[in-house]
Structure 1
Amino acid sequence: MSPHLLVDTTKPGWWSDGVERIPVPTTTDADTHDTGAAIWRDPSRPAEERIDALVAAMTPAEKLAQLGSHWADHRSPDEVIAPMQDVMSAGRDTFEGAVRDGIGQLTRVFGTAPVTAREGMAKVQASQQHLLTRTRLGVPAVVHEECLTGFTAYQAAVYPTSMAWAATFHPELVREMAHAIGTDMAAVGVHQGLSPVLDVVTDYRWGRVEETLGEDPYVVATLATAYVQGLQEGGVLATLKHFAGHATSRGGRNHAPVSMGVRELRDLVLPPFEMAVKVGRSASVMNSYTELDHVPAAADRWLLTDLLRGEWGFTGTVVSDYWAVPFLKAKHGVAATVADAARLAVHAGIDVELPDLAGYAQLDLDDPEVAADVEIALRRVLRQKLELGLLDEGWTPAEPVDVDLDSPRNRDIARRLAEESVVLLADDHTVLPLSPATSRIAVVGPCVEDPAALMGAYSFPLHVLPRHPGLGLGIEVAPLPEALRSELPGTEVVVRPGCPLVEPDTGQIAEAVEAARDCDVVLAVVGDRAGMFGKGTSGEGSDAPGLDLPGDQVALVEALLGTGRPVVLVVVSGRPYALGAFVDRAAAIVQAFLPGSEGPGAIARVLTGSVNPSGHLPVQVPATGSALPHTYLAPPLGQDGDKISNLSIAAAFPFGHGLSYTSFEVSGPVLDATEVPTDGAVTATATVTNTGERAGATVVQLYAADPVAQVTRPVRQLVGYARVHLEPGAGAEVTFALHTDRFSFTGLERARVVEPGELELSVGRSLGDLTGSATLTLTGPLRRVGSRPVLTTDVSVRAIQEVAG
């Protein structure tokens, strides 16, 4: 038993994890249910009959209890891991009191305090046995956890952040990772994961950029859908968040209102959710904290019911983001009381209140309208429990066992993801790959010896363990200098911090410059260290005032460039930072988006060439931090040029950019038809060849331009992509199958349409490296797209040439 799990000897049958004591039931109360006679426990009966029977057996309090959760968490006000946790947690009931009528879910049993897999399972078992034997109906709870960069639990693998997954452009690998996360969580008794994040980036200053999959809705949609499929194949329900518009808050400020019209909402924000619902079959959705056009998402029936369920056919559960229900009173002012807030939320379509049962416990079931809304939500909750097997006769929680959450399988997936995510932005071919003959390398940066700086804010080491400093990271992670020494055993690696992360420099820059002058190569490692609510430079509630590197890191890089030694700039960050000042002065620039526990080794192997870089940017990298916000999807009026402003918004590196230690040529596209009807389809074939001397991978990208439309459109927008690995001299044909639905947009009448006219299809290795184009004409009448649009571009890759030699 670990030192942080304490047996309470004053109360036999109780144990504590330092958060809340949980009773371990030893006998069945006399007034509990008769399990043998319950129709709802019989798996041979039709699902609706079982649900009818259970609903009929419930008291009003038992019905409401199923619509809430309990978080066994009590901590000091300075230890929050959720917004306004110190305020909203005040007066929380004990476990026994909170579940007297049962409970719908259990909140973060593993992710609140450091417990091993066995200890967490014991905690789940005790809670579930209490529900089974000491509540009248004995209905088990759904156990949910965070799982964005892996299962957010002690001693669990830490995968790269979502932004890093996006840089791989590799849905199959993301699906493999999610499946591993799901099987680990299912093995310890977790049913639901609060991931993935489908917010489309519109302002890089937003702290949660690291949690997103970038600024292109198709990339976000395809990778998030792959995650959903993998997690649910692993046995855990996925939860899409944050529905909708969370990343488009004013000024990039966490929780700020959203200013957006219906077309931007429909064409930019909603497509990833639509694909994850219709293609991924996600089991759950979580509302956004924000408000769109002055309507909070938690109270928006159009969003959560009319659109999500009516238009898209979603049949799962909608869960609230933590305290989003009482926030309708406290933060939005659309409810006079918490009871009023609950009434608005359940009518809008939120089925489960997280993380505690607060507002929903106050719902008045004597009100026929409220009772009808509760009945609908309750049946959804019970149907999901039935599908999970929780309502079956004889169901019991798993016995606690040792589970390796940081297994070799997990490490292998984390390693491959990290390696494929590293982006080589610039390379003058004088330094990289680093030579084993290099005598001395200076590694300079404020976080170079802190491996936690390569992890996301929702990883357990950063999310929870800072409050338990004696436990370290809980997993083995070598810092970057150690990884470099392993890759270059004959090279001396000199380490200096250079400057603090955010505080003013106190002479460390001068020390770093002195050390750098005596080295052959300088690695300037700059960027972020993630943390929650201002305790980091990236992460939830850690929003940026601008896009220059935090603290004195710009001054540090300038000083290192001034030494005359070749400088390789390595940016390890959760968001893109302005790098335009360094593009023509650094020997090379490498971007790593918080690559996780295997990140130090991945970066080292890319720098030394044992791994050929293959990552591509899922966001632009800005040249300057002065003109915000801007992403590549702006219409003509929002693009750089024409001298209409003194502020340039040109990117230092465009969307999709990524270099390699080999070279590729992309040609095409060749269309199978130059004219198709507005309800037709076309194939576009590109050819890619590895013209260099070593094996490598690149991402072939297909963009569409709609130069004349009834509403303004992005100058170009990605409509398909394929990651292709090629041996030296080898080539491949990449064929994109495009239904005309893929060119649809929200028109003047606020409906999705395909419009006749000319389109331009272009291919290349980035938005800034388009090497060929073809014109496609859509003929016939304007067509309204139906309720089942084609959302994906099917891609096939065919080898066309043997490896040379």
Structure 2
Amino acid sequence: MSTETYRDTHLPTDHRADLLLREMSLEEKCGQLTSVMPWSVIRADGSDAEGVDEVLAAPPGHVAQLIADDPADLARLAGEIQHRFVTRTRLGIPVLLHAEALNGFLAGGHMVFPTAIGLAATFSPDLVEEMAGLIRRQMRRTGFRHALSPVMDVALDPRWGRVHETYGEDPYVAAAFSVAYTRGLQGTDLAEGVIATGKHFLGYAVTAGGRNQSAFEAGSRLTRDLYAYPFEAAIRLAGLKSVMNSYSDVDGIPAGISPEVLTDLLRGTLGFDGFVSSDYGTLDQVVNRQRAASTPSEAGRLAITAGLDVELPTQFGYGSVLAAEVEQGNLDVREVDACVRRVLRAKFELGLFENPHPQEHIDVAAVAREGVALSQELARRSVVLVKNDGVLPLSRSLDVAVIGPHAGTALRQFPAYTYPAWRETLANWDHSTMAGAEGAGASWHEPLFPPVDAETLVRERHGARPLAAEVAEFAGAVRTEQGCSFTQAPTPDAVERAVDAARRSDVVVLALGGASLWFTGERTEGEDSDSADIALPAAQIKLAEAVAAVGRPLVVVLVQGRAYALPAVVRDAAAIVVSTFGGPFGAKAVAEVLFGAVNPGGNLPYSIPRHSGQIPVHHHQKAGTGYRSPLPGQLTQHYLDMDATPLYAFGHGLSYTGFGLGDLACDPEVDTAGVARISATVTNTGKVEGAAVVQLYVRVNASRVTRPAQQLAGFLRVELAPGKAGRVTFRVAAAQLGHTNLARSFAVEPAHVEFFLGFGSDDRGLEGTFELSGSPRSLSGAERSFLSEATVENL
């Protein structure tokens, strides 16, 4: 008789998972693939919830939505939950608690960083890896080992309300930041890490009509080469351990029940070996929205055979429903075993069996201070100066009017998927419509959250201040008026007060843009908050036109998580600054840029169109498509009524100093198994220190397949003192330039490659070519290259 046991830490994790699996009943197996809300296990005071013994009889493997205002309370509650699973279940399998962590651990008392689109604007994946490392330590301390982050979707449609959760329109940028975040969160040893979840697989940010949850339609080449690129990079380069399915149909089949998506592509082609977590309510939607299954049992059977491992946040088609399918002979238990094995392996890799409990003592004050400097630096780097007629930086002696919906609020710097926004959504939710578990959740939260509104919370807890208050730190005098809300038409009195403030000031800072929330409240962006028209809201345009008519110099600050089509009054402003939902230091960073305390160095992670009708307008359109198509005959522009090019292109960003590129060098010929070396000298030609993002774009002129007219192949943020220079070198493996060829094999083939270096996707500062020569090479996923190596040598 074997003496081996799954608790033997000397055994390989796969073997331990197999040993434990043999000891589990069918009900216990199916339970591991489900999740429960915390109030199904405990009350807010830590005592047993009603019905907890029934929950623990076939224990779920996961707990969802455990959120508290105080880190010590959070750890206490996590410990109480874990104690019950470890001591009061037959096999003592620890539970896996998950949380959102897109731009900070979504829990009270923890630092908030700029939202993901703002992180992308920094072009600083090294700092995002540092941020994720801090999130990892914070989550582990409080007992959480699974993060439902980051969002790896490539966002090409600004109508979609969740663009701010992504790293923007470029697959290379999305890959670079996805890899950095995954590395920071999971660490070098998962036993000291937290599992990252890449979402939403696949094509979720380019659904029909820009609507959340709608269908995704694309051919297999585009799906693999573009939309899967960040996911595959995170899998191959950072060992991504979890993936979340999209709500969308993919080629007519809901992603959550698609073997082609979750098994053939994700596991077979991309090499993923972790577990797939369902987006919340996926199987319910398969039945009740997409009508691709008629019952929960059918949805569960389809999902598990497709490769969906875990159903979140509560049972619908898994758990006892799934067990019944096996008992009735409708499902082979081996399908269940495959998913359970993946979940158990993850728990063993995390060291959860040996160390399931949170840290015993939490220093709440110390936790609140963690990441202050990092959040502030990321906020500063995320600010993008897109236009400047010389009015910026502002003199500190000026009287400034700060006008607009972003002038007097600190809260709107905190979008959906931050704790303050979650608190606000919870407060706005109509609890009278809730029943059952949701109603229990509403009452469960009450004792855990002090009665303070979200605006007060961000000011008192995070020290966040509105833009007007931050501008007052620099200006000679400040007058401020809201003028209008984000979407509601302004009253005549409100407009007149704004106009009067402008008239009595030297310069006007017009603080416009978006607001992000979940589902409820006044908003322009967020989950299920999509827009058919991406124009700046009419209320803000009316205010801007009235204020501009005064004739004072106009500086427009756009706080936004996605591109808006800008009216003439904004386009004609003396200066335009694009900010993001920057968290506690978002407004401070903008004020520092306005007055020159910080030299702007951010770059747009998306293209800003001239009009909604241009969508899509991303820079990497295929050759011969959209504004990348040559103009035929006598035509001078692609549309009759306007240019087809963006108003401001991806990668664009100005500075208070100047930068030049010169001395280009490159290898004239590179083998299909080789590496192309491209280098140039970047010089700060101005009078102040600054940072420039040197960007490398390539065009691979492949045979028989249409490729992008240009694609980003590398970037590097370079900081230089006045008059100083640096030698930037990019090393691009030929395997990075591959594509799905005519035979539907991913390959790198001989081609003539054009490239340019510049400071934006429309800045062809230096241009060159090289030849990819040699034999065509079909590449396995393990042989692919995803990110170039970029270095700088100071001269």
TM-score by length of 2: 0.90
What corresponds to 2:763 in structure 1? 769
| CA deviation profile, 1:203-230 (whole Å, cap 9, x unmatched) | 0110000001010000000011101111
Stretch deviating more after TM superposition (332-341 or 619-628): 619-628
Q: CA deviation at 1:94?
A: 4.9
Deviation at 1:770, TM superposition (A): 1.5
Aligned partner of 1:29 in structure 2 is none
Whole-angstrom CA distance in 1 between matches of 2:50 and 2:280: 17
Q: What is the SS of the residue equivalent to 1:555?
A: helix
Aligned CA RMSD, in angstroms, stands at 2.0
Preserved contact between residue 155 and residue 405 of structure 1 (Cα < 8 Å): no
Q: Does 2:639 align with 1:654?
A: no
1:637 is aligned to 625
* 1:664–1:395 distance in 2 versus 1, CA, 3 Å: closer
- 5 Å-filtered alignment, 1:326-725, equals 326-361=284-319, 362-363=321-322, 364-366=325-327, 367=329, 369-392=331-354, 396-399=357-360, 401-404=362-365, 407-429=368-390, 431-438=391-398, 440-468=399-427, 470-472=452-454, 473=457, 475=461, 476-488=463-475, 491-507=476-492, 508-533=494-519, 535=521, 536-579=523-566, 581-582=568-569, 585-635=572-622, 636-639=624-627, 642=635, 643-646=637-640, 648-667=643-662, 669-671=664-666, 673-707=667-701, 709-725=703-719
Partner of residue 324 from structure 1, selected from 257, 282, 286: 282
Aligned counterpart, 1:793: 788
Paired letter, 2:337: E
Q: Read off the aligned partner of 1:665 and give its amino acid letter.
A: G
Contact 1:534 1:543 in 2 (8 A): no
2:59 to 82, 86, 102: 102
Q: Does the C-alpha gap of structure 1 residues 627 and 790 become closer, same or farther in structure 2, counting only changes over 3 Å?
A: closer
Q: Which runs of 5+ in 2 are unaligned?
A: 41-48, 428-450
Q: In structure 2, the residue corresponding to 1:622 is in which secondary structure? A: coil
Kept in 2: contact 1:533–1:542 (CA 8 A) = yes
Match of 2:226 in 1: 268
- Partner residue of 2:741? 747
Query: 1:262: how far off?
Result: 1.3
Quick one: structure 1 residues 215 and 761, their matched pair in 2 at CA, closer, same or farther if it must change by over 3 Å? same
- Deviation sequence 1:673-713 (CA, Å, 0-9, x none): 21223332210002100011111101000001235642222
AA in 1 matched with 2:62: Q
Shift of 1:593: 1.6
Structure 1 residue 313, shift from structure 2 partner: 2.3
- Classify the secondary structure of the residue corresponding to 1:604: helix
Whole-Å Cα distance in 2 between the matches of residues 40 and 403 of structure 1?
36
In 2, Cα distance between equivalents of 1:528 and 1:52 = 51
Contact 1:561 1:585 in 2 (8 A): no
Aligned counterparts of 1:404 and 1:293: Cα–Cα separation in 2? 50
1:252 alignment counterpart: 210
Per-residue deviation, residues 713-743 of structure 1 (Å, max 9, x unmatched): 2221111110000011110111111111222
Q: Report the AA paired with residue 32 of structure 2.
A: Q
Which amino acid in structure 2 is aligned with residue 594 of structure 1? F
- Equivalent residue letter for 2:326: L
CA contact (8 A) 1:667 1:763 kept: no
What percent of counterpart residues are identical? 38
The answer (yes or no) to whether the contact 1:668–1:763 under 8 Å persists in 2 is: no
The 2-side partners of 1:414 and 1:397 are apart by 25
| Structure 2 residue identity aligned to 1:297 | A
Residue 604 of structure 1 and its aligned partner are, at CA, apart by 0.8
Relative distance call for 1:53 and 1:675 in structure 2 (3 A) is closer
**Structure 1 residue 762: deviation in Å?**
0.3
- State the match for 1:153 in structure 2: 107
Kept in 1: contact 2:701–2:751 (CA 8 A) = no
The separation in 2 between residues aligned to 1:509 and 1:545, in whole angstroms, is 27
Q: From the superposition, tell whether residues 706 and 582 of structure 1 become closer, same or farther in structure 2 (CA, over 3 Å).
A: farther
Q: Hey, what's the Cα distance between the residues in 1 that align with 2:411 and 2:52?
A: 33
Contact preservation (8 Å) 1:122, 1:400: no
Cα 1:465/1:644, change in 2 over 3 Å: closer
Classify the secondary structure of the residue corresponding to 1:571.
Answer: strand
Report the AA paired with residue 458 of structure 1: Y
What secondary structure is seen at the aligned counterpart in 2 of 1:144?
A: strand
> What is the letter of the counterpart of residue 793 of structure 1?
S
Query: In the alignment, is the contact (CA less than 8 A) between 2:301 and 2:331 conserved in 1?
Result: no
* Larger mean Cα displacement after TM superposition, 194-203 or 354-363: 354-363
Give yes or no for contact 2:194–2:350 (8 Å, CA) kept in 1: no
Instruction: State whether residues 384 and 604 of structure 2, in contact with CA within 8 Å, keep that contact through their aligned partners in structure 1.
Output: yes
Deviation of 1:399 after TM superposition, in Å, equals 2.8
3-state SS of the aligned residue for 1:51? helix
Instruction: Flag the 1:792–1:589 CA change in 2: closer, same or farther, 3 A.
Output: same
Q: How far did residue 404 of structure 1 move?
A: 4.3
Q: Distance in 1 between matches of 2:14 and 2:210?
A: 45
Deviates more, 1:552-561 or 1:159-168: 552-561
The answer to whether the 8 Å contact 1:169/1:699 transfers is yes
The equivalent of 1:6 in structure 2 is: none
Query: Does structure 1 retain, via aligned residues, the 8 Å contact 2:508–2:554?
Result: yes
The structure with the largest helix share of the pair is 2
Which amino acid in the other structure matches residue 119 of structure 1? D
2:266 is matched with: 308
SS of alignment partner, residue 514 of structure 1: helix
Q: 1:653 to 1:709 in 2, by over 3 A?
A: farther
The answer to whether the Cα contact below 8 Å between 1:239 and 1:283 also exists between their aligned partners in 2 is yes
**Residue of 217, 226, 231 corresponding to 2:171:** 217
CA distance in 2, matches of 1:162, 1:102: 35
Distance 1:96 1:123 in 2: 18
3-state secondary structure, aligned to 1:770: coil
Do the aligned partners of 1:452 and 1:529 also contact (CA within 8 Å) in 2?
A: no
- 8 Å contact 2:179–2:234 — kept in the other structure? yes
Shift of 1:118: 1.1
1:780 CA displacement: 3.2
Tell me the amino acid that sits aligned with residue 485 of structure 1.
Answer: A
Per the alignment, do residues 425 and 405 of structure 1 end up closer, same or farther by CA in structure 2, a change over 3 Å counting? Answer: farther
Closer, same or farther in 2 for the Cα pair 1:594/1:584, shift >3 Å?
closer
Give the length in aligned residue pairs. 738
